[in-house]
Amino acid sequence: MLTRMLYRTFLSALLLITLSGCGYHLTNSSANRKQSFQNIWIPFFSNESISPTAQTVLRRAFYDEIHALRGISPADSQETADLSMKAKIISYSSRAVSYSAKDEVREYRLSLNVELEAYKKGELSPVWKGQLQSSRQYPANLNMALQRNAEEQALDAAARILAHKFISAIEESY
């Protein structure tokens, strides 16, 4: 009888601990979202770098990541957006980071540095302003087409990392 009562008490305590949880929750659930914006305007990035395609890749990555992670849709124009942003590519570089025994380049590192500002609709001061950096390594290849393809994939990956960092920074500022 005593062991049965102890067993019940133990199960009740275990059930209580399990149901109360540890305080963690999904960040993507709509019930937990405290954001006051449902759409965003992302302009073409002004480009001070040497890459002619970086601004297009960055804009597409920002839209894709913001929609995929938070379900926020793109706005038709800056005037209709709940949140708008200004963006400038400060630098884009690609340099060798590792060499083979024959002193040939084996890997490159692509680095991006972007200056971003986010504004709520109707406000003049930014909700968030700062610089974000990202880098990705990619393999060297003697075939120039394959080399260029690897660099484009690294640019896309670095852009997605920047977009994710931006989302985190915006959420922390709310």
Domains by residue range for the chain, with CATH: 34-173 (3.30.160.150)
Quick one: average pLDDT of 94-120? 94
**Residue 94: predicted pLDDT:** 94
Residue 3, CA distances (Å) to 6, 7, 13, 14, 65 in order: 5, 6, 15, 16, 55
**Residue 158: predicted pLDDT:** 96
pLDDT-derived band of residue 149, with 50, 70 and 90 as boundaries?
very high
Contact 107, 137 (CB under 8 A): yes
**Residue 29: predicted pLDDT:** 45
User: Is pLDDT at 98 greater than 50 in this prediction?
Assistant: yes
User: Is pLDDT at 24 greater than 60 in this prediction?
Assistant: no
User: Is pLDDT at 153 greater than 80 in this prediction?
Assistant: yes
Residue 23, CA distances (Å) to 20, 61, 96 in order: 8, 32, 45
pLDDT-derived band of residue 22, with 50, 70 and 90 as boundaries?
low
**Residue 30: predicted pLDDT:** 44
pLDDT in tens, 112-128: 999 999 999 888 899 99
Residues in the chain: 174
